[in-house]
Amino acid sequence: MTAPLPSLRARVTPPDAVSPAPTHGHPPLIEVDRLSLYYGAARALHDISFAVPERLVTAFIGPSGCGKSTLLRCFNRMNDLIDNVRLEGTVRIGGEDIYARDIDVIELRKRVGMVFQRSNPFPKTIFDNIAYALRLQGLRRKSEIADIVEQSLHQAALWEEVKDRLHASALGLSGGQQQRLCIARAIAIKPDILLMDEPASALDPLATAKIEDLILDLKQQFTIVIVTHNMQQAARISDATAFFYLGELIEHDATSKIFTNPARKQTEDYVTGRFG
Amino acid sequence: MLVGATNSSLAQEYREIIPPEDFARVPPDRLRQYLGLTRQQFEQMDEETLKDLMSLRIEAKAQMPDDPDAELNTTEWRYLLGPHQWTGYDRPAYIWQPVSQIHKYNLLPLFIGSLKTTFVALLFAVPLAIAAALYVSQLAHPRAREWLKPGIELLSGIPSVVLGFFALIVMASFFQALFGYPSRLNAFVAGLALGLAVIPVVFSIAEDALTSVPRSYTEAALALGSTRWQAAWQIVLPAALPGVFAATVLGFGRAIGETMIVLMASGNASIVSWNLFDSTRTLTATIAAELAETVVGGHHYRVLFLLGALLFAVTFVANLVGDLVIHRLKGRLEGRR
């Protein structure tokens, strides 16, 4: 377990296993139990245990290299693509061990969508970007595809801006629009969980505000896990926040508590900007 | 144009005859032109030699075939490109027989020969090379990639004469036993051997193009639940299409310009036939085989030069069109159109 940390306050922190999730009555959807991850010999994640509640926004914060993106990529097994990655412990989604031998990774990724740090629309038309995701699902009916494309663009608050140029290349969109297109693409296939890896870090404040509004809308439907460097962003949009440092989960609690009354000294130092 | 100043007509050449007895009466300059000598050559010859040359011309005229075709200048465009019913033929035909008495210089059989072998080569090599590039760049384990890529690229280091020899000795017999066609050396065998030379060219460029597609596209596709194969085929390959197309154009250039393989393995029969299993003769092989035997500056020499110029024009146009297509594809991918 985590080494005892010096704390200014004499608060006793929950010491063990799954930290008490700030669930607001929401059942846990992702359960991480004693997860460690190694790149070759280097350990990137150290014995992490916690749970992500359903239909809430959970934010991962922490300085660069603390393992928050690595952990996020454990949830849809994107780390499988990297050589020499070794995992210990379990990750359960909806009670199912996603690293079990018989798990279908392709099906898993359809259930756990992902939005990347840098927007990465395909070099296809706006329409085809989303239609491609639908065709991967086995959808063939043109009218059905067109309906879902429109619906997803509405949901991603992009429809009004692109409805007249659906068949123009997606690479002609602005950065913020591209990122919203990526979100539309991810939600078009109706995943249970949406993973967002610093989705707004490359965008200007206006585009960032749009993405944040969008995330607040989307949490009605999806369980969202977002990695962010921006503390204000985490405070604005998340219900629960997990603070990571050097591959360890330092604290996981309701966002309001993390930002106003953290249990650990390190958390307080980080959220107040004293380090990191 | 390139051959316009030449006249290969035998009748024209021997129309005028100056008998040796008239040697003294003809002005020296006139005589020099008549015998087709340079000034220097003319000055080095004594009277006896010149008179011998004059008699030789009379003999040559006597041996001139009694053929109306001897009147024709066969280097005119209509004989170079169109069919002509030569004496002894029952219908108009495209004939390349530059060393027969009547010099027949029809270019069509050679063009067809070049196109046939190139077509077979590309049909064989391009899909194989692109599939290999897709596998090596997208699907293969990095360790397999480390030796596969240089391994395939090393193929381009094989001298084409070795490939030609291999085609001539091994492939020709193998495919004749397999398909049982009559001509052992033909466009098909030459095309396959040519394909072996084209594969590393296409592979190398296509692989670079596929590898330079941003990794984020693959990640996005995989995160949407595509298989690695789907991501490679449906996302990465379309994104790399300009580069893959450029690889194909380069492969075409290599195939149509390659000489030694087709010289050795195509059978070198200049016949007009679209059958891939007939022997054939290409532009390049013709130049290689005949140029050394021609009179420098003569009509045969000039026609071979024309072949070279046409070869250049074909590859130039292919590259130009290829470049335009690549720009269009790129523009479409980048959302500029």
Question: Residue B324 falls within a domain, yes or no?
Answer: yes
Both B45 and B172 in one domain: the answer is no
Q: What is the mean pLDDT of residues B153-161?
A: 91
Q: Whose structure tokens read 């070279």?
A: B308
Do B61 and B120 belong to one domain? no
Q: What is the dihedral of CA A6, A9, A15, A18, to 10 degrees?
A: -110
The CATH number of the domain where B231 resides is what? 1.10.3720.10
A177-187: pLDDT as tens digits: 999 999 999 99
- Min distance A59 CA to chain B CA atoms (Å): 20
Tell whether B196 and B315 lie within a shared domain. yes
In a domain, B1, yes or no: no
Q: Report residue A276's pLDDT band, with 50, 70 and 90 as the boundaries.
A: low
Residue A244 lies in a domain: yes
Q: Is residue B268 part of a domain?
A: yes
Q: What is the pLDDT of residue A271?
A: 87
B179 within some domain:
yes
Could you tell me which residue, A108 or B39, shows the higher pLDDT? A108
Q: The domain containing residue A231 runs over which residues?
A: 28-271
Q: Are residues B201 and B163 in the same domain?
A: yes
In angstroms, rounded to a whole number, what is the distance separating the alpha carbons of residues A107 and A137? 10
pLDDT over 70 percentage in chain B: 97
Provide the pLDDT confidence category of residue B46 given band limits of 50, 70 and 90: confident
- Residue A3 domain-assigned (yes or no): no
In-domain check, residue B82: yes
Q: Please say which residue of B105, B133, B163 terminates a domain.
A: B105
Pick B224's closest partner by Cβ from A83, A109, A123: A109
Report H helices in chain A: 68-74, 105-111, 126-136, 142-155, 159-162, 175-188, 205-218, 231-237, 255-260, 265-271
Instruction: Return the residue matching tokens 């530059």.
Output: B98
Taking 50 as the threshold, does the pLDDT of residue A1 lie above it? Answer: no
Q: Angle at CA B19, nearest 5°, toward B18 and B20?
A: 115
- CA distances to B160, B167, B279 from B187, rounded to whole Å, are 16, 11, 6
pLDDT at B14 (0 to 100): 75
Q: What is the mean pLDDT of residues A217-229?
A: 92
Tokens of B275: 């059958």
**Looking at the structure, do residues B203 and B251 belong to the same domain, yes or no?**
yes
What is the domain-level CATH number for residue A136? 3.40.50.300
Print the domain residue range for B209. Answer: 108-333
B202 class by beta-carbon count within 10 Å (0-12 exposed, 13-18 middle, 19+ buried):
buried
Residue A7, pLDDT score: 39
* Number of domains, chain A: 1
In one-letter notation, the amino acid at residue A228 is T
In a domain, A10, yes or no: no
Partners of residue A113 in chain B, C-beta under 8 Å: 223-224
Chain B closest-CA separation from residue A50 CA (Å): 23
Q: Which residues of A touch B238 (CB under 8 A)?
A: 123-124
For residue B48, the model assigns a pLDDT of: 86
Tokens of B122: 């590309």
Cβ contact, residue pair B142, A185, below 8 Å: no
Q: Do B225 and A110 touch (CB under 8 A)?
A: yes
Domain membership flag for residue A14? no
Please count the structural domains in chain B: 2
Query: Mean of the pLDDT values across residues B162-182?
Result: 94
What are the Cα distances from residue A126, in Å, to A42, A144, B188, B262?
41, 16, 45, 48
Average pLDDT over residues A152-172: 91
Q: Write down which residue in B88, B105, B122 finishes a domain.
A: B105
Q: Are residues B47 and B150 in the same domain?
A: no
Instruction: Determine how many CB atoms are found less than 10 A away from the CB of residue B36.
Output: 10
Q: How far is B89 from chain A (nearest CA, A)?
A: 59
| B119 and B89 fall within a common domain | no
> Between B222, B230, B334, which is nearest A171 by CB?
B334
**Which amino acid is located at B161 in the chain?**
V
Residues B228 and B271 in one domain: yes
B179 and B156 in one domain? yes
Interface check A202 vs B, CB under 8 A: no
Number of CB pairs, chain A paired with chain B, less than 8 A apart: 74
What is the per-residue pLDDT across B178-208, written as a single tens digit (0 to 9) for each? 999 999 999 999 999 999 999 999 999 999 9
Let me know whether B49 and B119 are in one domain: no
**Is the pLDDT reported for residue A3 higher than 60?**
no
For residues B143-153, average pLDDT: 92
Asked whether residue B189 is domain-assigned, the answer is yes
What pLDDT shows up at residue A6?
42
Measure CB to CB from residue A116 to each of B219, B230, B334 and give the nearest one. Answer: B219
Q: Residue B337: what pLDDT?
A: 52
- Span A57-64, mean pLDDT? 92
Same domain, B128 and B192: yes
Task: Give burial (CB, 10 Å; 0-12/13-18/19+) of B267.
Answer: buried
| Interchain proximity B222–A189, CB inside 8 Å | no
A72-90: pLDDT as tens digits: 999 999 988 888 899 999 9
User: Per the CB < 8 Å rule, is A114 touching B239?
Assistant: no
Q: Look at residue B333 in the predicted model and tell me its pLDDT.
A: 79
> Which residue from B214, B225, B334 is facing A136, i.e. has the nearest CB?
B225
Question: Does the pLDDT at position A5 exceed 60?
Answer: no
ipTM over 0.90: no
Q: Please report how the helices B283-290 and B241-257 are oriented relative to each other, as an axis angle in degrees rounded to 10.
A: 30
Of B105, B129, B156, which residue sits at a domain end? Answer: B105
Kindly report the average pLDDT of chain B as a whole number.
89
**The predicted structure's pLDDT at residue A23:** 59
Quick one: closest CA in A to B219, which residue? Answer: A78
| B60 and B116 housed in the same domain | no
Check pLDDT > 60 for residue A26.
yes
pLDDT one-digit tens code per residue, B68-127: 788 788 888 888 888 988 888 888 989 999 888 888 899 999 999 999 999 999 999 999
The closest alpha carbon to B119, from B65, B51, B191, B180, belongs to: B191
